Amino acid sequence: MRERLRRKIAGSKPILAVAAGIPLTAKAAHDSGADLIITHKEAVFGADGRLPVIARTGYGGNGNDIMMRMAEKFAAAAKGTPVIAGVGPAEPYMNVDRYTDRLLNQGIAGVTNYPTAGGWVGSYGNGIRIAGVGYSLEVEYIKRWSMRGVLTVGYCFTPEQVKQMIEADAAILSLYVPRTEKESHGWDDAPCVESAVETALKLFETAREEDKDRILLFSGATISNITDISYYLKTTKAHGYISDELVECSIIEQGVVNAVSGYRRLKVHV
């Protein structure tokens, strides 16, 4: 898989990883020729009409259980396009490596640390970090599975995390472009576009300094159309883009709205 992605990079085509919350999206990703499909609890929540961030709470079920339950359906719909599942290694009641073995047996091609504690800040984020059940566990997890030759994607939010994930040998790094004021959920500082790009560029610089050949994709960012994606691809010089649940959900919504509003305009026989 790494080889395939490298060939694509050599041909200067962008890599596209699609976050999918329903298998129909995985199918569309496969049909469009996308390179990877990533599924995780946030995407599943988004496609179910819930605020994706609620996935970071314990409500609505254990993210790892949800991945296990959906794995076969996503793998079937993806028809051979690799599906990466978001695993939470802080799971306290089971052996996450044995769990991952089972997940891979269901047709999943790789793993990622999403939802992640990597973006958590403030005293809560610090508490998680000091307790040792946050990002450090995710790095160790990615390291173990990269060593076993499984395709891994590491989500990074700070230059320090970029170093850690490269050290862990994550095959692909997902470098986060902060969401801008247009789309804050009220907890981050909601920067303007320029400072969001600046923050992201630091991640890209760090990654290139550490390993100039690592596959770097950008994720996050406030994106409402293809021009935005093109802009972030150009400014970050990323090898590609991980579309997120916001992209998926707005398209699903448009599809349903178009269909139903079409029916609403029908005329009744008088």
Partner 1 sequence: MKRFSRNEIVDRLNNRIRKYEPIVVCGAGTGLYARAAEREKVDFLIASAKSDALVNGLGAQEAVLPYHDANHTSGALAKHLLPVLKDTPVVAGIAAYNPYIDIRRVLKQMKQQGFSGITNSPGGSIYEGPRKKVYMAQEAEMILTAKEMDIFTMAFVTSEEEIKAMALADVIVTQCREDIRQAKVIIDYQEYLSEQVFAENKNTILLADVGNLTEAEAVQELMFRTKALGIVSEEAVESLLVHEKLTTAFEEILNL
Element (H, E) at 68: helix 63-78
- Residue from 5, 27, 214, 238 touching partner 1 (CB under 8 A): that is 27
Tokens of 260: 């139903």
Q: Which is nearer to partner 1, 32 or 105 (CB)?
A: 32
92 CB contacts (<8 Å, ≥6 apart)? none
- Residue from 19, 28, 153, 168 touching partner 1 (CB under 8 A): that is 28
47 binds partner 1 (CB under 8 A): yes
260 binds partner 1 (CB under 8 A): yes
User: For the residues of 177-204, what is the DSSP string, one character each?
Assistant: EPP-GGG--SSS----HHHHHHHHHHHH
98 binds partner 1 (CB under 8 A): no
Please tell me what DSSP assigns to residue 22.
Answer: S
Binding mask 200-239 for partner 1 (x = CB under 8 A): --------------------------x--xx--x------
| Shortest Å distance, C-beta 144 to partner 1 | 31
257 binds partner 1 (CB under 8 A): yes
50 binds partner 1 (CB under 8 A): yes
Cβ atoms of residues 207 and 173 within 8 Å: yes
Q: Which stretch binds partner 1 (CB under 8 A): 16-24, 90-98, 155-163, 207-215?
A: 16-24
Place of tokens 């390993």: 211
90 binds partner 1 (CB under 8 A): no
Q: Which is nearer to partner 1, 20 or 90 (CB)?
A: 20
- The residue ranges of DSSP E strands in the chain, in sequence order, are 15-19, 36-39, 83-86, 110-112, 151-156, 172-177, 215-220, 240-243
Residue 49: C-alpha distances to residues 35, 45, 52, 268 (Å): 26, 7, 8, 31
115 binds partner 1 (CB under 8 A): no
Binding site for partner 1 (CB under 8 A): 13-14, 16, 18, 21-29, 31-34, 46-50, 73, 76-77, 226, 229-230, 233, 241, 243, 247-249, 251-270
